[in-house]
């Protein structure tokens, strides 16, 4: 699916362009046309009271949901730019959404499916398994909690999957904002303390045990807890100055 989508979110578009300095690999346009690649965006429908619940005491239910919406739209816009440049397929994996809500929100420009599984690991493993079962060769799964994600980082992840079976984008809190695979690796999604500061370390340990050498992208901060709001606030203030 080559997405003819140039969505412009009202989330400040240059939030991370100052921080994301990685150039888009020039060979992406040449290689992606021949081989199927998929970018999966993992997010939750921005429903007040059910989105960013740990931030509700600080932002209110409406404010937390609005933050979820803005950050998701930011990642969608970045992935859409890559799709238009490099023939990468884009799909949303959503929690808590209906078909009507998704069409009203994003206009039906992207295919989407519901997340399946009892925890984050099962949901990610299911998404990867479905993609590889459909013949996709390289899959990048990215969350919507990191406003620093940009088109260049997504392009770099796909480019590195030509040389590495596993690509990870670390976050400053010990997790990761992106995971890319060139083959199924279900062992990366079991025995992980999801939501803790051990996610990246445990994932790396599982990779080493399977003799996988992951390629690490630039580390970014995500926005999930009250203490993370300072990171976002500084970026917003910087965008306005």
Query: Does the pLDDT value for residue 15 go beyond 60?
Result: no
Q: Residue 16 domain-assigned?
A: no
d(CA 149, CA 228): 16
For residue 194, CA distances in Å to 61, 166, 198 come to 24, 19, 8
175 CB-contact burial (10 Å; exposed 0-12 / middle 13-18 / buried 19+): buried
Residue 186's pLDDT band (cuts 50, 70, 90): very high
Q: Residue 215 domain-assigned?
A: yes
Residue 2's pLDDT band (cuts 50, 70, 90): very low
Give the CATH number for residue 73. Answer: 3.90.550.10
Q: Which residue has the higher pLDDT, 157 or 17?
A: 157
Q: Which two tokens stand for residue 36?
A: 């199927």
Percent of the chain clearing pLDDT 90 (strictly above) = 69
pTM of the model: 0.84
* Residue numbers of the domain that contains 224: 28-240
Residue 49's pLDDT band (cuts 50, 70, 90): very high
Query: Does the pLDDT value for residue 158 go beyond 90?
Result: yes
Q: Residue 49 domain-assigned?
A: yes
Q: Residue 21 domain-assigned?
A: no
Q: Residue 47 domain-assigned?
A: yes
Percent of the chain clearing pLDDT 70 (strictly above) = 81
Query: Does the pLDDT value for residue 142 go beyond 90?
Result: yes
Give the model's pLDDT for residue 108. Answer: 74
Which of 2-11, 128-137, 165-174, 215-224 has the lowest average pLDDT? 2-11
Q: Which residue has the higher pLDDT, 236 or 126?
A: 126
pLDDT digits (tens, 9 = 90+) for 165-185: 999 999 999 999 999 999 999
Query: Does the pLDDT value for residue 150 go beyond 50?
Result: yes
Q: Pick from 6-15, 39-48, 61-70 the range whose average pLDDT is largest.
A: 39-48
Query: Does the pLDDT value for residue 122 go beyond 80?
Result: yes
For residue 148, CA distances in Å to 30, 53, 141, 145 come to 26, 21, 15, 9
Average pLDDT over residues 143-158: 95
Query: Does the pLDDT value for residue 28 go beyond 80?
Result: no
Q: Residue 228 domain-assigned?
A: yes
Residue 223's CB: how many other CB atoms inside 10 A? Answer: 23
Q: Residue 75 domain-assigned?
A: yes
Q: How many domains does the chain have?
A: 1
For residue 158, CA distances in Å to 60, 79, 212 come to 37, 12, 17
- The β-bridge relationship of strands 138-143 and 176-181 is antiparallel
Q: Residue 6 domain-assigned?
A: no
Average pLDDT over residues 117-145: 96
Residue 10's pLDDT band (cuts 50, 70, 90): very low
Residue with token string 């997010």: 43
Q: Look over the chain and give the mean of its residue pLDDT values, rounded to a whole number.
A: 84
Q: What DSSP line would sit under 110-151, residue for residue?
A: SEEEE--SSSHHHHHHHHHHHHHHTT-SEEEEEESS-TT--H
């Amino acid at each position: 699916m080559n997405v003819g989508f140039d969505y412009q979110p009202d989330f400040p578009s240059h939030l991370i362009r100052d921080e994301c300095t990685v150039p888009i690999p020039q060979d992406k346009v040449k290689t992606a046309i021949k081989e199927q690649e998929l970018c999966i965006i993992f997010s939750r429908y921005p429903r007040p009271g059910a989105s960013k619940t740990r931030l509700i005491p600080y932002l209110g239910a409406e404010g937390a949901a609005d933050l979820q919406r803005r950050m998701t739209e930011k990642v969608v816009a970045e992935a859409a730019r890559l799709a238009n440049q490099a023939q990468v397929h884009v799909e949303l994996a959503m929690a808590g959404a209906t078909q009507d809500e998704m069409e009203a929100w994003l206009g039906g420009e992207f295919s989407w499916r519901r997340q399946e599984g009892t925890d984050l690991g099962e949901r990610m493993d299911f998404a990867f398994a479905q993609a590889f079962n459909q013949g996709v060769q390289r899959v990048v799964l990215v969350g919507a909690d990191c406003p620093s994600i940009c088109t260049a980082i997504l392009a770099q992840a796909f480019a590195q999957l030509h040389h590495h079976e596993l690509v990870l984008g670390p976050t400053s809190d010990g997790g990761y904002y992106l995971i890319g695979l060139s083959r199924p690796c279900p062992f990366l999604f079991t025995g992980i303390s999801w939501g803790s500061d051990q996610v990246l370390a445990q994932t790396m340990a599982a990779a080493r045990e399977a003799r996988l050498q992951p390629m690490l992208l630039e580390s970014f901060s995500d926005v999930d807890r009250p203490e993370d709001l300072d990171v976002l606030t500084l970026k917003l203030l910087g965008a306005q100055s």
